[in-house]
Structure 1
Amino acid sequence: MLNPNSRCVYLEELRPPAGFTLDRAIATTFSLNLLALLMAPVSMVFSSLKEQDELLQDPVALLESLRQTAGHFAVFCQEGRISVPREDTLLYSYLERAVVEVQPPGGGVFHPKVWVLRFLGEENGKQVTFYRFLCLTRNLTFDYSWDTALVLEGRLADRKNAYSRNRPLSDFIRSLPEMAVRKVNPEIEEHIDIISDEILRVKFKTPEGFEDKLRFLPAGIKGYKRLPELDHYTRLLVLSPFLSGRALKSMIERGNNNILLSRPESLDALDGETFNALKDSGTSIYIMDSAAEKPESEFQEWENDFSGLHAKLYILEEGWDARLWTGSANATNAAFSGANVEFLVELQGRRSKIGIETFLGKDEEPDTILSMVHPYRRPEQLKDPDSVEQQLETALNEARKAVTDAGLFLDILAVGDKTWTLHLNTTRDLVLGDVTGRCFPVTIRETAEQSLEPLLLGDTVIFQGISLASLTSFIAFKLTAQAGNRTAELNFVLNLPIHGLPVHRDKAILQNIISSRERFFRYLLLLLAEGNENGAGPEMINAFLGGSGKGSVSSYDDIPLLEDLVRAFSRAPEKIDRIAKLVNDLKETEDGSRLVPPEFDQIWGAFLSLCKGGASD
């Protein structure tokens, strides 16, 4: 059922099926890495191009994927949990309209990790709407921990009545805008309305080995206050990186020969009463081998020795049957009490196919879960909690909460023709205590870093000399706490309300990325290569991206451009629309016009004449 040696790449699951294109998508995550999110549109758009890893390193490919998917997807994440990207690029600004920060109503955190993608295509001459649902245990980051991913697919059925089992999923999607800390823009509201309505009429196919029974299990939203209690089982497996005593004890009170798989530091942190209850119940406790990957920590002063486990999985056996729960919920009080917003899916099947023994495999066989874990042994002398570390972490989290509660917003003022100032303001008092802070727009990194001190005094933080292309609503914050001779730092990004943003900002980014006629040529090849088996296809663009080596492309004489344009007009007219939009956007300004080569203008003019001639015949 689950092969630990078969590891799917998160972003590959966003690729459209053959013959389909992405229409719209909704995603949720606790934490968010902007660079990881930049890569999502590449998977959504360039599914047929070879050497995708190379394209990810090319800003032209990223730019076109962002232009094609702009307004087509939204990501809801916990406020204050966007990480500061390690790479700076103007392209982050294209994500501003897609990122929605939220605060859950129950006082916990927004923790679900799902994608719902809507694709459009044709089958037998009829338009088909195809849905893909991802239920994940990881966030949209570059974490390489062990995780689980459930992929469900189905077509929109031509029926009036809903599939009742999809109602919780529809209600969850519809609840998302209600948790947003700022008003959601109309295009995202439209995505929510369409997807939450249509998803009711999608017959999802369960994975091989499972029966045609599934339950969507949201928690922490209206109508779904908390997760159902784990019940009706004679044996239970809990796989959870984080634990808390009350939730865990309630799970192992019933059942025999239960199994718990977690991280060593989480098990070490259990109180004596809970650990003794585990031993007395006969629960077998395992941890992952230390060779597993380590996730990143947002706190910079200490390094957590994680085991690399981030999956959440519950297998419940009763008689010949078994149920499997997978999703975002850890075995913690916050997850199962309704404080957090969570999402899981329950699958059902025969114990022989999806049960605990099948999941674990055999110790002596390679590539099984059991071969990658070993029994946990509680240290005789547990380390006392690091009180200084806890003090620093508490101070930083309180400071982050103060920043997010301060009602921050941005004003933009023009200074001359080509520079602007960016003003960071508060609507409520900001108090950080002993924590100090600095901030900067993510597009220009630390070169414009400013102290938060003016905000503490009721004044404004001003970033001066900002170019049009560098204006952004993504502001990074660096908070520093000190206790004795130890310091810790907490970094995060907020997507703030912004006033006075010039309407041509995105076109300035376009001109900045296409900064030369060579890059314009590269962009043109990219547009023609997308999904193309002939002409300026994958080999051509990869040769160009590879530089001046053997077989490289360097001029318009090296490709039959006019023929490729005519072929695209006949077979994929949307490519011509994209090229026309690119040319028109660039030619709106004098600087942009200089990026369009005269050789292309000549070929483009001939092509347009051919099109007009064909239309008049």
Structure 2
Amino acid sequence: MLSPDDRSLVTTLLTPPCGMLLDAAIATTYTLDPVALLTMPLHLAWLASGEDKRLLGDGIRLFEALRRVGEKLTVYADRGRIQAPEQAHPLYCLLESMIVEVRAPRGGAFHPKIWALRFVTPDAEPTVCIRLAILSRNLTADRSWDLSLLLEGAPGGSYIATNREIGELVRDLPSFAVGPVPKARADEAARLGDEIRRTHWELPAGWDKIRFHVLGRKRHAWSLPESKHLAVVSPFVTDAALAALCKTSKTPVALVSRSPELAALAPATRALFDRCLVLEEAAESEDGEDSTRHDTLGLHAKALVLRSSWDTRLFVGSANATSAAMLNSMNIEVLAELVGKSSKVGCVEELLGSNGFGGVLTDFDPATTVPPENHAQIEAEAALDAARCALVDAALLVHCDPHAEDWRLSLRTAAGVEFGGVEVHAWPLSLQGAQAVAASGLEKGLDVDLGVTATSDVTGLTGFVLRRDGVETRFALNLPLEDPPSDRDGALVRRIVHSQAGFLRYLLLLLGDAEGGEREPPEEVKKGRSSTASGGMGPTLLEEMVRAFAHDRARLADVKRIVERLQAGEAGNDVVPPEFLEVWRIFLQAMEVAA
């Protein structure tokens, strides 16, 4: 049970079943890394897997992946928990419509980590497959130890009682948003939520039943069923939550957590468990690698394992064994409960055995001490958190003013924002973090000039860095744009497709699907020449256009859209070969006749 040898990648859950296509996807996360989010459309569009990071530097493929997937994928993230990368990326602005910042309705953290995906067959009457992933990891590049449960099924005609809570959560996600949610995305959440409630899941081998629990939507605390044995796996713990969990079990067998968390517990709380365990040092640092090379290492998995009578119950999901998650009903959390016969799926003892999770665990040293409190740092961190909350709660927006051929961006607020002595800087994520400007004017309700940017760099994704007494925190907000340039998308296309070779390569990508991105541009184009015999595009592209006209004219509609956007700017005159336009006019005429 929970063997560390059973590995999976987040991108695995995005790969469509054989013969099916992605129709819609919804993800929820507490923290969100924009760079990690960029890789998701890449995988959904190209099944890139381990090549995702390399392809982040391929602007043409990345732009097309975002265009194909952007309207199908919505990510709901806790407000103020978007990470602010140091490095800029020209396509961050295309993430704006995909990210919906939300708040937990009872004032805690929006903490669930789920993916709900709808796949369909390309038929007139499509077959539908719903995939649901219950995770313990956020949508970030962390390298921590996490758990995942992947389920698939087909929606039926009747609601299934055990699916009600998770289906209603997906349906209601738009109601948690801090701003308006486009109707299409709200309708998609309603459809997916309804289908989830009607889906019969294919369970992992040995397990007989599944039920979903959504914490934080009701006032009463969530509780475990009574058990004979109990094991708790949680990176963050509190005395009160652990005491409540232990009251449900005759024998709390084990507590698995991080050393600093266990050291901070009262000795009486640790004594409730037969054993307190932590990850071995090699497992914490990925077999001894330098931990500074990674974002986050160590334990991040959350699980509760119970044995009662002949059954084993496994709870996996986002909830830590903390008061905020399990007692105060403040955080929104999701747990999936699997039930199976202990003889088939194992029990608590096997979880801690050498063939289970126990193979990477070691006993906690009770002599471990908690570092003395640095009161100055604690005070500074509290001030930073208060300033973050003030910015999160403020009615901020980014105003756009024309400035010659570019745009001047200004950060605006409806009322003064109290920073409490914290130094605040801000910048558009499309620019380098080093270009951040002081945002102290927000305290007086004044506009903050974020600088002049190109049309393609205009974005509402705004980074903030807060500093006080040598302590720093960084985050980003997805702010609404006021008076944005009407041709921002066109300017972005012209920036990405900036040469004739790039233009022809993009057309190959549109017409030839994933393979097109790997083809070389025609040799005459790379050498700055063109062939009037094939319209300056080589025989390969001409063949693809003819094939698309015969079998899939929607691809030619994509070509038409790109050509029009490129020609809308002066740069398009140099990017689109004149010889191509001669041939393209023939295709346009043929498409009109065939319509």
| Superposed pair shares fold, TM > 0.5 | yes
| Aligned with 2:358 (options 363, 370, 377) | 370
Change (3 A) 1:323 1:510: same
Q: Report sequence identity in percent.
A: 33
User: Aligned partners of 1:108 and 1:54: how far apart in 2?
Assistant: 37
Task: Determine the structure 2 residue equivalent to 1:248.
Answer: 242
Segments of structure 1 that go 5 or more residues without pairing to the other structure are: 296-301, 549-554
Task: Determine the structure 2 residue equivalent to 1:141.
Answer: 140
Q: 1:139 corresponds to which letter in structure 2?
A: N
Q: Report matched runs for 1:43-122 at 5 Å.
A: 43-47=43-47, 51-122=51-122
Q: Mean Cα displacement is larger for which, 74-83 or 52-61?
A: 52-61
Task: Determine the structure 1 residue equivalent to 2:289.
Answer: none
| Aligned with 1:410 (options 374, 379, 398) | 398
Task: Determine the structure 2 residue equivalent to 1:298.
Answer: none
Q: Report matched runs for 1:412-427 at 5 Å.
A: 412-416=400-404, 418-427=405-414
Q: Report matched runs for 1:553-592 at 5 Å.
A: 560-592=540-572
Change (3 A) 1:154 1:577: farther
Deviations 1:110-147 (A, max 9, x none): 00001111122146x63112211111100000001011
| Deviation (angstroms), 1:372 | 1.1
Task: Determine the structure 2 residue equivalent to 1:271.
Answer: 266
Task: Determine the structure 2 residue equivalent to 1:316.
Answer: 306
| Aligned with 1:201 (options 180, 198, 202) | 198
Secondary structure (helix, strand or coil) at the match of 2:315 reads strand
Q: 2:542 corresponds to which letter in structure 1?
A: L
| Deviation (angstroms), 1:52 | 4.9
The RMSD of aligned alpha carbons is 2.9
Q: Mean Cα displacement is larger for which, 309-318 or 70-79?
A: 70-79
Would you say how many aligned residue pairs link Structure 1 and Structure 2? Answer: 579
Task: Determine the structure 1 residue equivalent to 2:176.
Answer: 179
| Deviation (angstroms), 1:400 | 0.5
Change (3 A) 1:380 1:459: closer
Task: Determine the structure 2 residue equivalent to 1:492.
Answer: 475
User: Aligned partners of 2:553 and 2:211: how far apart in 1?
Assistant: 42
| Deviation (angstroms), 1:269 | 1.3
Deviations 1:380-411 (A, max 9, x none): 64432332332222111111011112221222
Change (3 A) 1:612 1:496: closer
| Deviation (angstroms), 1:428 | 2.4
User: Aligned partners of 1:580 and 1:304: how far apart in 2?
Assistant: 44
User: Aligned partners of 1:140 and 1:71: how far apart in 2?
Assistant: 18
User: Aligned partners of 1:600 and 1:62: how far apart in 2?
Assistant: 24
Change (3 A) 1:359 1:497: farther
1:237 aligns with 2:224: no
User: Aligned partners of 2:296 and 2:110: how far apart in 1?
Assistant: 22
Change (3 A) 1:581 1:358: farther
Q: 1:498 corresponds to which letter in structure 2?
A: L
1:217 aligns with 2:175: no
| Deviation (angstroms), 1:358 | 7.4
User: Aligned partners of 2:346 and 2:83: how far apart in 1?
Assistant: 38
Task: Determine the structure 2 residue equivalent to 1:327.
Answer: 317
Q: 2:548 corresponds to which letter in structure 1?
A: A
User: Aligned partners of 2:281 and 2:448: how far apart in 1?
Assistant: 45
User: Aligned partners of 1:372 and 1:28: how far apart in 2?
Assistant: 29
Task: Determine the structure 1 residue equivalent to 2:344.
Answer: 353
Task: Determine the structure 2 residue equivalent to 1:540.
Answer: 519
1:474 aligns with 2:453: no
Secondary structure (helix, strand or coil) at the match of 1:530 reads helix
Native 8 Å contact 2:310 2:342 kept in 1: yes
Change (3 A) 1:557 1:577: closer
| Deviation (angstroms), 1:306 | 7.2
Secondary structure (helix, strand or coil) at the match of 1:277 reads coil
Change (3 A) 1:175 1:392: same
Task: Determine the structure 1 residue equivalent to 2:431.
Answer: 444
Native 8 Å contact 2:537 2:580 kept in 1: no
User: Aligned partners of 2:522 and 2:230: how far apart in 1?
Assistant: 54
User: Aligned partners of 2:488 and 2:30: how far apart in 1?
Assistant: 29
| Aligned with 1:167 (options 164, 167, 186) | 164
Q: 2:477 corresponds to which letter in structure 1?
A: L
| Deviation (angstroms), 1:556 | 6.6
Secondary structure (helix, strand or coil) at the match of 1:308 reads coil
| Deviation (angstroms), 1:182 | 1.3
User: Aligned partners of 2:409 and 2:266: how far apart in 1?
Assistant: 50
Task: Determine the structure 2 residue equivalent to 1:552.
Answer: none
TM-score, normalized by length of structure 1?
A: 0.87
Q: 2:335 corresponds to which letter in structure 1?
A: L
Task: Determine the structure 1 residue equivalent to 2:530.
Answer: none
Native 8 Å contact 2:106 2:216 kept in 1: yes
TM-score, normalized by length of structure 2?
A: 0.90
Change (3 A) 1:303 1:568: closer
Task: Determine the structure 2 residue equivalent to 1:507.
Answer: 490
Change (3 A) 1:261 1:517: same
Native 8 Å contact 2:43 2:49 kept in 1: no
User: Aligned partners of 1:377 and 1:208: how far apart in 2?
Assistant: 36
Q: 1:182 corresponds to which letter in structure 2?
A: G
Secondary structure (helix, strand or coil) at the match of 2:281 reads coil
User: Aligned partners of 2:56 and 2:294: how far apart in 1?
Assistant: 30
Deviations 1:278-311 (A, max 9, x none): 3xxxx2111112223569xxxxxx9999761111
User: Aligned partners of 1:271 and 1:386: how far apart in 2?
Assistant: 20
User: Aligned partners of 2:49 and 2:376: how far apart in 1?
Assistant: 51
Task: Determine the structure 2 residue equivalent to 1:521.
Answer: 504
